[in-house]
Amino acid sequence: MFSIQNNQHDSSYLSLVSNVGPFNEFIDEYDPNEAFNTLSNARVLVIGAGGLGCEILKDLALTGFKKIDIIDADTIEVSNLNRQFLFRSGDVGRPKAEVAAEFVKRKSMGKNLSIVSHYCRIQDKPQSFYKQFDVVICGLDSVEARRWINATLVSLVDSNLNGLIPMIDGGTEGFRGQSRVILPTVTSCYECTLDMITPKTTYPVCTIANTPRLPEHCVEWASVLEWPRRFPGKKFDPDLSEHLDWMYETAHRRAIHFKIDGVTKELTLGVVKNIIPAIASTNAIIAASCCNEAFKYVTSSNPILNNYMMYSGDYSIFTYTYSHARKPNCPVCGNHPKTIKVPGSWDLRDFIEHIKEKHDISIGTPSLATATKQLYFRSPPSLEEFTRKNLGRKLSELLDDNEEVIVSDPKLPISLRLLVKLE
């Protein structure tokens, strides 16, 4: 399954790439020997060793990349084994990055292959760590982590494009997925497309409490309202069978009472864990696309993706490629503040809740300031106590119309500039 003659015998592989393909843009300038050497010496960072990351790591090794690092902060769970094929039951509890690296090296997927694993969060590494790579490929399931690495790579680029490291991002959701190539400060960045992310499904409390219509409403009622009432102070753990059984039975009884069909144990688990079905074939397709773009970029053998590819496999098979434009008011790669219109009668607490929920901002623990005053800071404790009094004050008292507010979050290496228009 994992053998490939071309990578086991470099000379045979070199003879294959000696024939310049018909789609190369600069045939006279292309040197296959140089491309092969670049492929062998390029250092690639893979972020994430889950379903997508395992596929990416395997594909990179079989493509001919020799120097690969992989970073992941998670350990292997039994539920991972059905799609994260580099892991076995005996690996449960071990770090994903370490096991994935060991597996690929043990299978000898390529001659002189070096894979270095890092069992930690990406935020734990300094900027100097990321500067050593030629390409970064993301196989993440976290928007927050993507935003962090995107902002970090943009910050490494100077005005002459020195320090530019491409970020190739892949993502899957059931039978759908996407891959994209981000050239920091040149193309649109991840933050530019934040408003394209599907928001998490939520249900109004009044609906789930009084007039449930869907099986999901019954599960949410059992989880959000009934569990805290029956077990105050006790945290629900969906991985404990007795907890999940109680949740399913409670939701099922409510569904019978309201004559609602469709409450199953699988649905209950999906709702309480916000699970999106993972499809192995989708992971394989998106990982192949990401690695193909890395190969084209490093070897200059073909034009790279410009710059977004969407894949859908739920109704037949469909792909669509387009160029996503940069946003001038992007807080990471843009130069202009984002305009936001809010009532002047709101107090600062209302404003903070609004920007936390606003999909194209999505900052969970914001601290706010203007050029002349501190509005609200969450840390240190002394500053939080000093600015807490502003939470109940009206925006019209704290801000002038069209005044710029700087919003920061300790989880993100960026500050967001908001031009606040008071209505």
Asked whether the beta carbons of 156 and 165 are under 8 A apart, the reply is yes
**pLDDT for residue 17:** 43
**pLDDT for residue 87:** 94
Asked whether the beta carbons of 407 and 327 are under 8 A apart, the reply is no
Instruction: Looking at the structure, tell me whether residues 35 and 138 fall in a common domain.
Output: yes
Instruction: Looking at the structure, tell me whether residues 288 and 268 fall in a common domain.
Output: no
Structural domain harbouring 130: 5-197+277-322
Asked if residue 329 is part of any domain, the answer here is no
The catalytically annotated residue of 54, 206, 291, 333 is 206
Provide the Cα torsion 292, 295, 296, 300; round to 10°. -170
Instruction: Looking at the structure, tell me whether residues 148 and 77 fall in a common domain.
Output: yes
CATH number at residue 16: 3.40.50.720
Instruction: Looking at the structure, tell me whether residues 129 and 214 fall in a common domain.
Output: no
**pLDDT for residue 14:** 44
Contacts of 303 (CB under 8 A, 6+ apart): 23, 25, 296
CB atoms within 10 A of CB 190: 25
Asked if residue 191 is part of any domain, the answer here is yes
Q: What angle do CA 395, 397, 400 make, to 5 degrees?
A: 75
Average pLDDT over residues 119-146: 92
pLDDT over 60 (residue 356): yes
Contacts of 94 (CB under 8 A, 6+ apart): 75, 76
Average pLDDT over residues 114-119: 94
**pLDDT for residue 400:** 84
In terms of pLDDT, which residue wins out, 389 or 20?
389
The residue among 264, 297, 322 that closes a domain is 322
Tell me what the pLDDT averaged over the chain comes to: 85
CATH number at residue 209: 1.10.10.520
> 9 pLDDT band (50/70/90 cuts)?
very low
Q: What angle do CA 304, 174, 70 make, to 5 degrees?
A: 55
Asked if residue 405 is part of any domain, the answer here is yes
Q: Give the C-alpha separation, 207 to 159, whole Å.
A: 53
Asked whether the beta carbons of 290 and 298 are under 8 A apart, the reply is no
Instruction: Looking at the structure, tell me whether residues 44 and 182 fall in a common domain.
Output: yes
Instruction: Looking at the structure, tell me whether residues 122 and 169 fall in a common domain.
Output: yes
CATH number at residue 345: 3.10.290.20
Asked if residue 134 is part of any domain, the answer here is yes
Instruction: Looking at the structure, tell me whether residues 407 and 310 fall in a common domain.
Output: no
Asked if residue 355 is part of any domain, the answer here is yes
Instruction: Looking at the structure, tell me whether residues 26 and 143 fall in a common domain.
Output: yes
Instruction: Looking at the structure, tell me whether residues 254 and 288 fall in a common domain.
Output: no
**pLDDT for residue 413:** 78
Asked if residue 260 is part of any domain, the answer here is yes
The residue among 231, 249, 272 that closes a domain is 272
Tally of CA atoms within 13 A in the half-sphere of 413 that contains its CB = 19
Lowest mean pLDDT among 116-130, 239-253, 366-380: 366-380
**pLDDT for residue 256:** 93
Note if 206 is an active site residue: yes
Instruction: Looking at the structure, tell me whether residues 150 and 254 fall in a common domain.
Output: no
Instruction: Looking at the structure, tell me whether residues 88 and 179 fall in a common domain.
Output: yes
Asked if residue 331 is part of any domain, the answer here is no
Number of domains in the chain: 3
**pLDDT for residue 12:** 42
